[in-house]
Amino acid sequence: MEAKDLIARRAALELADGEIVNLGFGMPTEVANHVPAGVNVVLQSENGCLMFGPTPVLGKQDADIGNAGGQPITLLPGASIFDLATSFCIIRGGHVDTTILGALEVDQEGSIANWAMPVAPGKYSPGMGGAMDLVTGAHKVVAVLQHNDKKGGSKVLKKCSLPVTGKGVLKTIITEKAVFDVTPQGLVLKEIAEGLTPETLRDVTDADFTVDPGLCRYRLPN
């Protein structure tokens, strides 16, 4: 299984029945496809709706019904539509239970960097969109990312090198190699992928971490 697919599947286990959930773009969007049976979550699209459903089939799309990625979506029974200001009252006001966000880097203090890649000195792209509000307002912030960059460098760092989206905001970090809880004492390794040991994981991880006494194998939904 591909790393991205593993991560999206594992992240789906972070969602509990009845939760209000906001999924970022990319890998997080895929999480919705792997939510275990019996777990019903309410998905928010920050451009202004709750309880959206899958992409419509041709002919069922509507020019005025799209998500925060510009994609056509459908609305489920019980959906609601509201303006952007209200949408961020929901987010900043603490009414989102869980958000899952892609990350460029995370660190052992629970910080996440996912908005600013330098394009020129002091100039950044792509921008934070709703992510800074989500890490501020959501009760549980989960970062998903590949453990290492293409050159093998760790993206789970002692300290983020890119401008952060939020400082000390993460609850959980999920890569294809490991799942960490972020605690006041630092990262705690909770799950580890097949074929790795805490020791071999340290070789590919910049961040310090401790190992949970109940360390288990990387879990996936049935």
Partner 1 sequence: MNKVRQLDDVIEDLKDGATIMLGGFLSVGTPLKCIEKIVKKGVKDLTLISVVNTYPGKYDLYETGGFDLAPLFANNQVRKMITAHTGTCAEAVQAMKEGKLEIEFFPMGSWIEKIRAGGAGLGGVLTPTGIGTLMEEGKKVLEINGKRYLLELPLRAEFAFINGYRADPLGNIEYRGIGLNTNPTIAMAADYTVAEVNEIVGVGDIDPLRVGTPSVFVKAVVQGYTLAERQDVFRDMWVKTGRIKVPAAAE
Evaluate whether 114 touches 141 at the Cβ level (below 8 Å): no
How many chain residues bind partner 1 (CB under 8 A)?
69
Instruction: Tell me which residues in 184-213 interact with partner 1 (CB under 8 A).
Output: none
Residues 6+ apart with CB under 8 A from 19: 41, 42, 97, 98
- Does position 80 interact with partner 1 (CB under 8 A)? The reply is yes
Q: Which amino acid is at 189?
A: L
- Does position 105 interact with partner 1 (CB under 8 A)? The reply is no
Q: Shortest approach of partner 1 to residue 105 CB, angstroms?
A: 14
Residue 31 has phi, psi (to 5 degrees) of -55, -35
Which residue in 4, 34, 71, 196 binds partner 1 (CB under 8 A)? 71
- Does position 136 interact with partner 1 (CB under 8 A)? The reply is yes
Which residue in 16, 53, 83, 216 binds partner 1 (CB under 8 A)? 83
- Does position 127 interact with partner 1 (CB under 8 A)? The reply is yes
Which residue in 16, 53, 84, 149 binds partner 1 (CB under 8 A)? 84
**Is 14 noted as a catalytic residue in this protein?**
no
Q: Which amino acid is at 95?
A: H
- Does position 126 interact with partner 1 (CB under 8 A)? The reply is yes
- Smaller CB separation from partner 1, 22 or 205: 22
Binding mask 30-69 for partner 1 (x = CB under 8 A): ------------x-xxxxxxxx---xxxx--xxxxxxxxx
- Smaller CB separation from partner 1, 131 or 201: 131
Which residue in 165, 172, 175, 205 binds partner 1 (CB under 8 A)? 165
Max intra-chain CA distance, the chain = 54
Distance CA 45, CA 99 (A): 11
Catalytic, out of 14, 19, 30, 46 = 46
Q: Shortest approach of partner 1 to residue 145 CB, angstroms?
A: 17
Catalytic residues: 46
List of residues contacting partner 1 (CB under 8 A): 18, 20, 42, 44-51, 55-58, 61-72, 75, 77-86, 88-95, 115-116, 119-120, 123-133, 136-137, 163-168
